[in-house]
Amino acid sequence: MGIIIAIDGPAGSGKSTTARLVADQLGYVYIDTGAMYRAVTLAAIRRGIAFTNRALGVLVKTINIQLEQSPNGQRTLLDGIDVSKEIRMPEITKHVSEVSASPEVREAMVHEQRRIGKKGGVVMDGRDIGTVVFPHADLKVFMTASIDIRAERRAEELQSKGIVTSASDIAIEIEERDNLDSNRATSPLIKAPDARILDTTSLSLQEQSDMIKNWAMEIINKTSNNKDI
């Protein structure tokens, strides 16, 4: 058991690293929902499928995406094969917003995300977790940061994986993706009215995760006190 923590925000706001740390500290499961949209994009590219809602709708019914917990973090399996590395390639990043705008793709992914998270004890990050996937999540956080700092963080993250790109190129890509993710018709990236805003521009990873962990502990304690009465 445990509460549901929804973390949304734009690319590079620090969601995944922070969410993983919070999950570790609370003994919760961390779910990176972006990985699922990336796996669909990988499958579409491999099969040469057009990014139309119709074609993608057929595709999602024929593929199997699983998220597995491992000591090194979440592993993403596409039809039983580990594609955790492949889904981070620039080619996938370039097309993922287009694929994730498909209502059919979203419906299938949201269904799976609800199945995984409904029992609680999860920290789930994405773009629509607090608005669509779990609108009644116990704690909702909307993470933001300046575009410059987001681009710098992404560049460092990619460099650590051996992919070299400049922060200025990444800033352009991030802004394009923000634009597509925030303006699509189905479940755009928006802050849920009851989400707490966490601007991470000048915060360290430790400060970010402590902040969310403290908010979570307040809610967890309140819930258990209410049960005791």
- Only segment of 120-128, 134-142, 149-157, 193-201 that touches ligand DC (CB under 6 A): 120-128
Per CB under 6 A, does 30 bind ligand DC? no
CB of 201 to ligand DC, least distance (A): 18
Calculate Rg over the CA atoms of the chain.
17
- Only segment of 93-101, 143-151, 154-162, 190-198 that touches ligand DC (CB under 6 A): 93-101
Return the residue nearest ligand DC (CB atom).
126
Per CB under 6 A, does 65 bind ligand DC? no
CB of 44 to ligand DC, least distance (A): 13
Per CB under 6 A, does 192 bind ligand DC? no
The residue type of 11 is A
| Residue closer to ligand DC (CB basis): 178 or 220 | 178
Tell me which residue of 83, 50, 48 sits closest to 64, measured CA to CA. Answer: 83
SS (H, E, C) the chain: CCCEEEEECCCCCCHHHHHHHHHHHHCCEEEECHHHHHHHHHHHHHCCCCCCHHHHHHHHHHCCEEEEEECCEEEEEECCEECCCHHHCHHHHHHHHHHHCCHHHHHHHHHHHHHHHCCCCEEEEECCHHHHHCCCCCEEEEEECCHHHHHHHHHHHHHHCCCCCCHHHHHHHHHHHHHHHHHCCCCCCCCCCCCEEEECCCCCHHHHHHHHHHHHHHHHHHHHHHHHC
| Residue closer to ligand DC (CB basis): 194 or 218 | 194
Number of residues that bind ligand DC (CB under 6 A): 14
Per CB under 6 A, does 38 bind ligand DC? yes
For ligand DC, which residue of 13, 18, 33, 209 counts as binding (CB under 6 A)?
33
Per CB under 6 A, does 34 bind ligand DC? yes
Binders of ligand DC in range 129-158 (CB under 6 A): 129
CB of 229 to ligand DC, least distance (A): 36
Q: Which residues bind ligand DC (CB under 6 A)?
A: 11, 33-34, 37-38, 96-97, 100, 126-129, 177, 181
